[in-house]
Amino acid sequence: MQEILQFFTNISDEFRLIFLVSGLVFFFFLEMVIPLFKMNYSKGKHALINITLTIITLIVNLLGAVLILSAVKYNETNGTGLLNLAEMPLWLYVIMGLILMDLIGAWLIHWIEHKIKWLWKFHLIHHTDPNVDVTSGLRHHPGENIFRLLFTTLAVFVTGASFGLVMMYQTISAFFAHLTHANIKMPHMLDKVLSYIFVTPHFHKIHHHYIQPHTDSNYGNIFSIWDHVFKTVTRVKNMDDIFYGIDTHMKLEEHSSIKNLLMIPFQNYRPPVGSKFN
């Protein structure tokens, strides 16, 4: 375990980029072999929209990296954070760190984004995707990335996670973003069993169903345990019942235009079926 933490402590930006791109390519082709849904769309054009949104947020991510590093150094200097309150085996330190960072840095901010109207309008861009595939995990508004990076920084402060553990968490998080959005079919029983601990492809696809209450459920990022603990789990009997998108933005020009996607948070709010915020 020490060697693994040391590896992530010294992980280079080049390796992380290779890992990210390799994961995208792997699941991109796997979608062609075992697709969950046969969707009639241009994968290339769809990928271009989602990847462009990610490129736009690169500056935000660079600023966020400075904040996260500052939080790590503060904890190292002051010995603060929950993980530093008591001695524990390294394996427990890693598991507890990953679970707690996933709660604060991912599940909590995701849940909040669905509960506060002006935050929802930024997160809404992610839900406008009518063709969820591996690139959909990259589909976020730059403004939303600011909120998520702030909560990731908060997670580091609260946990006292080391730099290596933070890098491990972010790498695993990137992998799960690919896995859970990929348009791949999982054996039903395997997906269901794993979904009691981890976020699985079918578990997360329910979150992308276009109407309530499914949209406001299954918030998990890596671990699904927080959804089970806070009773925010929704299931469907048949995955064929899933219909992607959000009922307020079903027109092509609204969900397939970079300009419109960036402007959605500043447009008038539209309540979806199910009376969100009404």
Q: Name the DSSP class of 244.
A: B
In a domain, 34, yes or no: no
In a domain, 28, yes or no: no
**Contacts of range 143-147, beta carbons closer than 8 Å, 24 or more positions apart:** 143/265, 144/113, 144/119, 145/57, 145/60, 145/61, 145/64, 146/60, 146/64, 147/109, 147/113, 147/119, 147/122
Residue 276 banded pLDDT, cuts 50, 70, 90 = low
In a domain, 2, yes or no: no
Query: Residue 185: exposed, middle, or buried by beta-carbon count in 10 A (0-12, 13-18, 19+)?
Result: middle
In a domain, 10, yes or no: no
In a domain, 271, yes or no: no
CA distance 16 to 209: 31
pLDDT over 90 at 27, yes or no:
yes
**Total domains present in the chain:** 1
Residue 275 banded pLDDT, cuts 50, 70, 90 = low
> What range defines the domain where residue 194 resides?
47-266
In a domain, 134, yes or no: yes
Mean pLDDT of the chain: 93
CB 184 within 8 A of CB 219: no
pLDDT over 80 at 272, yes or no:
no
Instruction: Report pTM.
Output: 0.94
Other Cβ atoms within 10 Å of 58 Cβ, number = 11
CA distance 228 to 194: 13
In a domain, 153, yes or no: yes
pLDDT more than 70, % of the chain: 99
Task: Give the pLDDT score at 211.
Answer: 83
pLDDT in tens, 127-150: 999 999 999 999 999 999 999 999
- Higher pLDDT residue, 96 or 60? 96
In a domain, 276, yes or no: no
pLDDT over 80 at 233, yes or no:
yes
* Collapsed DSSP state (helix, strand, coil) of residue 243: coil
